Structures are given as C-alpha cells and as structure tokens.
Amino acid sequence: MSHIAFIGLGNMGGPMAQNLLKAGYTLSVFDLSPAALQAAADLGATVAMSAMDAVRHADIVISMLPASRHVEALYLGEAGLLPHIPQGALVIDCSTIAAQTAKTVSQAAAARGLVMLDAPVSGGTAGAAAATLTFIVGGEDAGLERARPVLSKMGKNIFHAGPSGAGQTAKICNNMLLGIQMIGTAEALALGVANGLDPHVLSDIMSKSSGRNWALELYNPYPDVMENVPASRGYRGGFGVDLMLKDLGLATEAALSGQASIPLGEMARNLYGLHSKAGAGGLDFSSILQLLQKAKG
Ligand code: NAD
C-alpha cells in the first residue's frame, strides 16, 4: 500500500488524514501546529520534523493548506519541496487556491518529472469527517486514475473538471454560489425572526418550499436550529469567514481574467469583508447572520 505524506492538518486536513489512517495507509504528517500534529500522532501517523522530512519516502504527497501563497511557499522556491519528492510520486493539492497558481506549481512539478493534480474539495468539515467529500480534480487522466483509490477513502464523488487548474476554477464557481446562498439564507431567517417568526418553524417551511438550499438544509446559520453545525457551537470550527473571503477574491480574479460579470459574488465579497473587519474573520462563514442581525437593528 502506498505511503502518504500529508501536509496541513487543519479543520479539513485533520479528518481527511484520519480517514486515510483508518483505511490502512501509513502516513507521515507535517503541520505548523503542534496540537494538530499531536492529534494525528494519537491516531497512528508518524510525525515528521518538517515537510521535507515528511515527503522523503512518499509515494503520494497530499497538501491541504489555506491559500495560494502557502502552496507556492511549500512547493516552489529555494526551500521548496519539489526537489525532495521521490521520482514517480504523485502530488495532490487539495487546498482551494488560484487556478493560475495550481497551473504554475504543476508545471514546476512536471519539469521535475512529477505528476501533480489540483483536487480541491467540497462538503465541509462534516464531509471531511464522514469521508463523503466531493473532489473536483484538474490534471491528466492518468494522474487522476492513480489518485482515485486514495481520494475514494476520503470522499464519495470524484469529478474530473479538465486540465491543470480546472479543478480550482470549478471549485471557485461553487464556492461563490455557496457564499451568496449563505447570505441569502441568513437574510431570510433574520427577516423572519425580526418579524416574530420562530427560526425553526421558518427553516422547516423554507426547506419544503422554493427557497430550499444546502445552506438552509444542511448548514443552517441560525443558532440551535440544527445540531452539529457551527451556528450551534458559537460559530467555532467549520469554514472560516476569512477562507470564504479568500475564495470570493479568487472568484473576482477569475472574473477579471475571463471578463465575466459577478455582481452578486462581488457584493458577497464585500459583506464577508465587512464582517471580517468587525472581528469575525476566524468564525465560521455562517456567522454572516450576525452582521445582518446588527444591520437590521
Ligand atoms: P485551516 O486553517 O483549518 O487549516 C490549515 C492548516 O494548514 C493549519 O493547521 C495550518 O497550521 C497548516 N499550515 C499552514 N501553512 C503550513 C505549512 N507551510 N506547512 C504545514 N502546515 C501548514 O483550514 P481548513 O479549513 O482546513 O482549509 C484548508 C483548505 O481547504 C483551504 O484552502 C480552504 O479554503 C479549503 N476548504 C475548506 C473547507 C472547510 O469547510 N473548512 C471546505 C472546503 C475547502
């Protein structure tokens, strides 16, 4: 069975690595957070002293980092990982980053004889824990076929979006829609509550009506309407406001490069930006409800 190096054990990477361990893979892991490393060690992973140390004997390298700059810094440059990854190893970056960065890093990997895929995910932390993620892959067919057995231990759906970078483009389209949908859902719930409705009752009604959507039904932003979602634990964990802000920034960049119009995506970016500036950057993105509640007095 392949030996895997896993780099980035945060809200998503931690449970993804756990599912690979459960499936019987051996893992060398690295993260900047000692607590994340300890949690992975407790589950049977080998903790590496550095990312370089983690990839030394890897057949497959998986990274799950916050943003483009982290992925560039990890793989490229003088201290980058690419020269240290064994020849023939497959590299899979699951972070959500700019399509252009994914293409640049994958070209640099190819120049060293390595196949690299962009494989961002959808499904949130619950999907990561339950191994039901959707993988949205960009890169060569042959690389995807090699990745498939490993990805299937962490997810349920695997889509091939197209060549290198296409996975990131598709992911950004999805996340822009999610960001907009969450604001609309929070706005409707805040409106109902401001006019005397019970958020449980309103959620039930809209879930069986034409306003139904993923944010409402599986990730309800109103506290205590749904168990096991960030809104019911003080908006802790989940998908951070600053990560959503990053993704909407990537959508803006994609709109500029493709000369597309994204008026609602831009408005969503501004609202999450205001929310972040007010100190909520580390909270789950469903906390946008708080901004709307305040705005409505
Ligand atoms: P996170 O901030 O919880 O985790 C990122 C981890 O990377 C942290 O543990 C951090 O210490 C580590 N890290 C940063 N730089 C590092 C480096 N140089 N070497 C080793 N470790 C490093 O983020 P997350 O929520 O796990 O998200 C990761 C990626 O997945 C992001 O691109 C995000 O947009 C995407 N994503 C998140 C969700 C979600 O619901 N949280 C869903 C889909 C996609």
CATH of the domain at 279: 1.10.1040.10
Q: For the chain, how far is it from start to end, CA to CA, in angstroms?
A: 58
Q: Give the pLDDT confidence score for residue 17 in this predicted structure.
A: 98
Boundary of a domain, candidates 144, 163, 182: 163
* Residue 6 CA: distances (Å) to CA of 92, 93, 114: 10, 10, 17
Q: Give the pLDDT confidence score for residue 79 in this predicted structure.
A: 85
CA Rg, the chain, in Å? 20
Q: Which of 28, 30, 32, 214 to mutate to test the pocket of ligand 1 (most atoms within 8 A of CB)?
A: 32
The 3-class SS string of 144-158 reads HHHHHHHHCCCEEEE
Write down the mean pLDDT value for the chain. 96
Rounded distance between C-alpha atoms, residue 155 and residue 126, angstroms: 11
Judgement on whether residues 122 and 249 belong to the same structural domain of the protein: no
Judgement on whether residues 83 and 195 belong to the same structural domain of the protein: no
Q: Report the pocket of ligand 1 as residue ranges, CB < 6 Å.
A: 7-13, 30-33, 36, 51, 64-66, 70, 74, 95-96, 121-122, 124-125, 238-239, 243, 247
Where does the pLDDT of residue 78 fall: very low under 50, low under 70, confident under 90, or very high at 90 and above? confident
Domain count, the chain: 2
Which CATH number goes with the domain that contains 94? 3.40.50.720
Nearest to 288 by CA among 174, 171, 207, 184: 184
User: Atom 8, ligand 1: which residue's CA is nearest?
Assistant: 10
**Domain span including residue 86:** 3-163
Judgement on whether residues 75 and 196 belong to the same structural domain of the protein: no
pLDDT digits (tens, 9 = 90+) for 150-192: 999 999 999 999 999 999 999 999 999 999 999 999 999 999 9
User: Atom 9, ligand 1: which residue's CA is nearest?
Assistant: 10
Residue type present at position 74 = L
Phi-psi label, residue 58: left if phi above 0, alpha if psi -120 to 50, beta otherwise: beta
For residue 297, pLDDT over 90 is answered with no
pLDDT digits (tens, 9 = 90+) for 232-267: 999 999 999 999 999 999 999 999 999 999 999 999
Judgement on whether residues 11 and 104 belong to the same structural domain of the protein: yes
Q: Give the pLDDT confidence score for residue 219 in this predicted structure.
A: 96
For residue 283, pLDDT over 50 is answered with yes
Distance between Cα 274 and ligand 1 center (Å): 22
- Strand-strand pairing, 133-138 and 121-122: antiparallel
pTM (two decimals): 0.93
Judgement on whether residues 186 and 154 belong to the same structural domain of the protein: no
For residue 66, pLDDT over 90 is answered with yes
Judgement on whether residues 235 and 142 belong to the same structural domain of the protein: no
Q: Which positions are catalytic? A: 171
Judgement on whether residues 154 and 173 belong to the same structural domain of the protein: no
Cβ neighbours, 10 Å, residue 49: 8
What DSSP string runs through 56-83? TT-SEEEE--SSHHHHHHHHSSTT-SGG
Q: Which of 84, 243, 246, 286 to mutate to test the pocket of ligand 1 (most atoms within 8 A of CB)?
A: 243
Nearest to 154 by CA among 297, 14, 294, 296: 14
Distance between Cα 15 and ligand 1 center (Å): 12
Distance between Cα 163 and ligand 1 center (Å): 24
Distance between Cα 236 and ligand 1 center (Å): 15
Judgement on whether residues 132 and 152 belong to the same structural domain of the protein: yes
* Residue 109 CA: distances (Å) to CA of 46, 93, 113: 25, 12, 6
